[in-house]
């Protein structure tokens, strides 16, 4: 099929077609967002992950890890936050559960396709628990202090199904347990000997959990 554009030369037409292709390419890139793992950076993952993102009016979405087999994803899922960008009802999400630990420690590449055409790529690193793809029979719990903000904290429990630690409790202020031994008290980020609160921190810098000499 041929188009005549006002008597312009073949070279001018070719330039127009190239520019049009660049514009379309930009629209396509802006109409998708690979979120986990994120595109454009390298993140560290472990355990069972929701590999996910969004693409305007998605067809059959698949992905491949390191050139491996094509894996189908759920597509056309509800993503109301993309409705305005895509100019539709927001059914633009895609996602799949995958245990990334099975790919082994180190660097990996995920490539994403819509009806066989690649539209996104993401790099990620995997950290396994001693090389195990799926850890069974393990149990552990702990507390994280000053998270997500100073004076707050969360409790964490190991969950086998997700192969990771999940938040099971949240505290703030005096409701948070002290991370210090019974003979010490917490002052800011430090555990201070209860008998030496007036002592000067020496030698500098202060070390979390250090017992200071009597005043």
pLDDT tens track of the chain, all 215 residues?
A: 323 334 444 444 344 434 433 333 333 346 999 999 999 999 999 999 999 999 999 999 999 999 999 999 999 999 999 999 999 999 999 999 999 999 999 999 999 999 999 999 999 999 999 999 999 999 999 888 889 998 899 999 999 999 999 999 999 988 887 778 878 877 766 677 776 654 555 555 555 444 444 43
Q: Minimal CA–CA distance to 75: which of 62, 89, 85, 88?
A: 62
Both 19 and 88 in one domain: the answer is: no
Both 108 and 51 in one domain: the answer is: yes
Angular region, 137: left φ>0, alpha ψ -120 to 50, beta rest: left
Radius of gyration of the chain (CA): 27
Structural domain count, the chain: 4
Both 40 and 100 in one domain: the answer is: yes
Both 17 and 46 in one domain: the answer is: no
**Longest alpha-carbon distance in the chain:** 94
Q: Can you give the residue range of the structural domain that contains 68?
A: 32-126
């Amino acid at each position: 099929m041929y188009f005549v554009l006002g008597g312009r030369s073949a070279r001018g037409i070719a330039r127009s077609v190239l520019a049009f292709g660049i514009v379309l390419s930009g629209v396509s890139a802006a109409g998708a967002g690979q979120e986990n793992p994120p595109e454009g950076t390298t993140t560290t993952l472990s355990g069972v992950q929701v590999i996910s993102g969004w693409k305007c009016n998605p067809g059959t979405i698949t992905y491949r890890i390191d050139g491996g087999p094509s894996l189908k994803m759920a597509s056309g899922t509800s993503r109301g936050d993309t409705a305005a960008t895509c100019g539709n009802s927001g059914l633009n999400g895609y996602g799949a559960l995958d245990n990334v630990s099975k790919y082994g420690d180190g660097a990996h590449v995920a490539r994403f396709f819509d009806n066989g055409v690649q539209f996104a790529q993401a790099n990620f690193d995997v950290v396994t628990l001693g090389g195990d793809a799926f850890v069974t029979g393990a149990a552990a719990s702990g507390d994280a202090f000053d998270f997500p903000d100073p004076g707050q904290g969360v409790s964490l429990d190991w969950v086998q199904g997700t192969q990771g630690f999940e938040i099971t409790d949240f505290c703030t202020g005096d409701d948070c347990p002290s991370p210090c031994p019974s003979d010490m008290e917490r002052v800011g980020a430090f555990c201070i000997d209860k008998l030496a609160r007036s002592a000067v921190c020496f030698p500098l810098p202060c070390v979390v959990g250090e017992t200071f000499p009597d005043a």
